[in-house]
A and B are shown apart, each in its own frame.
Chain A
């Protein structure tokens, strides 16, 4: 029997679900509301030098990649199954497209994180 690829994608879905469950709400608040509106943070925070320093730090890179990649894998996995719930029955081709989209997004993040090492 051919080995199923389900455990791999379910693990990525689960990891993304766990990460977003633990820090997702606070992260969305910080980057999307707290800093832009100046609630709990100085409104001028998240400047180019600050974020560049974060993206050039090894642990910072790991954190940024983990958030973008795992959130994408979590989201795309659920989007795919959500289509089934809505009565749109998609075949393995579109399933691959959803996981491929998450994989491409992760690859893009990885390339950009390497590229910012040479910025500034």
Chain B
């Protein structure tokens, strides 16, 4: 069959034309860092299974400047992901009703942010005083 020669609107660089879409792409880009971070942990687990010397080498690699820069950028990106995750939560979850009244969007976003702060403090305390 012959290919139809209809006009197709060019989409190259579509997201660079509007700040809203630039921030959308920043949010989507956070997944690159989350994936690599998961792989860093997976390598750590692999090195752990190989014994002390292998694990110590992985542990030392975490202090390398490239590792520090990577983790710093990842921290910024994950924080942005976290904020956007709860910002859109009023749209991604079903309506919540308490005593017949719909819970406001603001309350849903706020509860997500508060949950993150609480979970982060709990994790910090747990790792600082129980695990390590």
- Contact of B68 with A108 in the complex, beta carbons under 8 Å: no
Cβ of B39 within 8 Å of any chain A Cβ, yes or no, is: yes
- Given A20-B78, A20-B82, A30-B124, A52 and B48 touching (CB < 8 A)? yes
A residues adjacent to B (C-beta < 8 A): 16-18, 20-33, 35-37, 40-42, 45-48, 50-52, 54-55, 60, 64, 67-68, 71-72, 74-79, 81-82, 85, 87, 105, 108-109, 112-113, 115-116, 119
The residues of A that contact B34 with a CB separation of less than 8 Å are: 16, 20, 24, 71, 74-75
Closest 3 CB pairs of A and B: A32-B71, A75-B35, A78-B31
> What is the distance, in angstroms, from A37's C-beta to the closest C-beta of chain B?
7
> Which of B32, B59, B78, B128 is close to A28, meaning CB atoms less than 8 Å apart?
B78
Q: A75-B32, A82-B28 are in contact. Are A36 and B67 (CB under 8 A)?
A: yes
In the complex the two chains form, what is the Cα distance from A82 to B123 in whole Å?
A: 31
Q: CB distance B56 to A108 under 8 Å?
A: no
Q: How far is the CB of B78 from chain A (nearest CB, A)?
A: 4
Contacts of A87 in B (CB 8 A): 11-12
Q: Is the CB of B132 within 8 A of A41?
A: yes
Tell me whether A85 and B35 are in contact in the complex, defined as CB-CB below 8 angstroms, given that A18-B85, A41-B132 are known contacts: no
Given A82-B31, A108-B42, A108-B46, CB of A71 within 8 Å of CB of B37:
yes
Interface residues of B in 8-55 (CB under 8 A from A): 11-12, 15, 25, 28-32, 34-35, 37-42, 44-46, 48-49, 51-52, 55
Chain B's nearest CB lies how many Å from the CB of A32? 3
Q: Is B6's beta carbon under 8 Å from chain A? A: no
- Whether B85 pairs with A28 at a CB distance below 8 angstroms is no
B33 to chain A, nearest CB (A): 8
Given contacts A46-B132, A55-B45, contact A25 B79 (CB under 8 A): yes
Give the docked Cα–Cα distance between A101 and B46 (Å). Answer: 17
CB < 8 Å: which of B39, B40, B49, B82 contacts A24? B82
CB neighbours (8 Å) of A71 from chain B are: 34-35, 37-38, 41
Q: Which residues of chain A have C-beta atoms less than 8 A from B63's C-beta?
A: 36-37
